Amino acid sequence: MLAGTLLALLAAAGTALSAPTAGIPTAEAGRALISTLGESSTAGLYIDEAGSFVIPVTTDAAAAAVTEAGFVAKKVEHSTEKLNSIKARLDDTASNKFVGSAWHVDPVSNRVVISIDENLAKSPSLENLKTVASAFDGAITLEYVSGSFETYAAAVSGGDAIYTTQGRCSLGFNVRAGSTYYFLTAGHCGTVGTVFYRAQTASTANRLGAIVRRSFPGSDYAIVQYDAATTGLTSVGNVGTQDITAIGSAVVGQPVSRRGSTTGTRTGSVTALNASVTYSEGTVRGLIRTNVCAQPGDSGGSLYSGTTALGMTSGGSGNCQVGGTTYYQPANVVASLVGASAY
């Protein structure tokens, strides 16, 4: 079944109450306003097709405050508090049980969306997942996606990549903390102590550094500390020709680019935050979800918007011939573990 085909039609998520009347809003200002209003009267933040920042709300008072602050207010049924509670229950009860599933809170449809890959769609366990979803009174929507959810590591082959003795992945971002240089990539690309090289030949001359912190599953990140002899390689914080000057937080609807060693640079937009996906290795949570394609070897590669780093490629479904759904470990969460920043 084609990606995005819904098992159940999305219910109308609400009606826009008004257009913004104040100054130009920003994502940071929107998050601050949501924090003030509370998660019981708001339901997220996203950028609509017109490029406007939209804050869904559940009360008239919140709608008035949102409009006054210059954002578009949209009246909806379910609050962030309720939807996050449902997602948390799925994380607790469904993690590692339904391989080939993923779930996230979608602020646009005002639902928790469970994505089902082609393998799970053919599995007898699908009926069990439907039973789980039916217990939430219409707050969950099921959708089918093409392909199967998998991580994007690859066997050794040529390309713009980082290599271990086991395979090929992609470098995410170069960062530094004081005089210590690191790069960020995916956790499923190796374990603590795994050495990365800039070419297939595992020689001293090609050595970049080793993983010093790593998590997978649960999260999907690896922090690689450059060897002292190779810190000269980190003098540029670019992704290809794109200069990266900051590490930030993604917003639903935000235009993004992804760069990896198999498929190069691809573009799309953010479709969800704090998503969970269950690979054969286990469930990974807290991910950015996009409609950008990726393929094996792109694991660990860069997700960014303009000059801002957003995340590292974890996995997904589909490919760059038919399109796909992809998931990313947020870069700001990982960089903060070692007090690192972009440069």
pLDDT tens, position by position, 289-302 = 999 999 999 999 99
Give me the DSSP letters along 11-59.
Answer: PP--EEEE---SS---HHHHHHHHHHH-TTSB---EE-TTS-EEEEESS
Confidence of residue 159 (pLDDT cuts 50, 70, 90): very low
Nearest CA to 259 out of 199, 219, 303 is that of 303
**pLDDT, tens digit (0-9, with 9 covering 90-100), for 55-93:** 999 999 999 999 999 999 999 999 999 999 999 999 998
pLDDT of amino acid 10: 31
Q: Which of 188, 219, 257, 269 is catalytic?
A: 188
Q: Which residue has the higher pLDDT, 237 or 335?
A: 335
pLDDT of amino acid 5: 31
pLDDT of amino acid 130: 94
**What φ, ψ does residue 188 adopt, rounded to 5°?**
-75, 0
| Residues 183 and 224: beta-carbon distance below 8 Å | yes
Long-range pairs, 17-21, Cβ under 8 A, ≥24: 17/57, 17/63, 17/67, 17/73, 17/74, 17/75, 18/63, 18/67, 18/72, 18/73, 19/52, 19/67, 19/72, 20/52, 20/53, 20/67, 20/69, 20/70, 20/71, 20/72, 21/67, 21/68, 21/70
C-alpha–C-alpha distance, residues 280 and 299, integer Å: 16
Q: Read off the pLDDT of each residue in 14-21 and give the average, rounded to a whole number.
A: 45
**pLDDT, tens digit (0-9, with 9 covering 90-100), for 301-323:** 999 999 999 999 999 999 999 99
Q: Read off the pLDDT of each residue in 130-137 and give the average, rounded to a whole number.
A: 91
Beginning with the edge strand found earlier in the chain, give each strand of the sheet holding 46-47 in spatial order. 15-18, 72-75, 53-57, 46-47
Respond yes or no on whether the N-terminal peptide bond of residue 217 is cis (omega within 30° of 0): yes
pLDDT of amino acid 23: 63
C-alpha–C-alpha distance, residues 131 and 127, integer Å: 6
pLDDT of amino acid 78: 97
**pLDDT, tens digit (0-9, with 9 covering 90-100), for 232-287:** 454 467 888 888 999 999 999 999 999 999 999 999 999 999 999 999 999 999 99
C-alpha–C-alpha distance, residues 270 and 253, integer Å: 5
pLDDT of amino acid 157: 30
pLDDT of amino acid 24: 81
Share of the chain above pLDDT 90, in %: 79
Catalytic-residue membership of 188 = yes
pTM above 0.85, yes or no: yes
pLDDT of amino acid 95: 86
Catalytic-residue membership of 219 = no
Confidence of residue 328 (pLDDT cuts 50, 70, 90): very high
Match 């953010």 to its residue by tokens.
270
pLDDT of amino acid 22: 54
**pLDDT, tens digit (0-9, with 9 covering 90-100), for 173-185:** 999 999 999 999 9
Does the pLDDT at position 14 exceed 50? Answer: no
pLDDT of amino acid 52: 96
**What is the number of residues in the chain?**
343
Q: Which of 220, 261, 276, 302 is catalytic?
A: 220
Does the pLDDT at position 137 exceed 90? Answer: no
| Residues 271 and 107: beta-carbon distance below 8 Å | no
C-alpha–C-alpha distance, residues 309 and 332, integer Å: 8
> What average pLDDT does the chain have?
89
Catalytic-residue membership of 18 = no
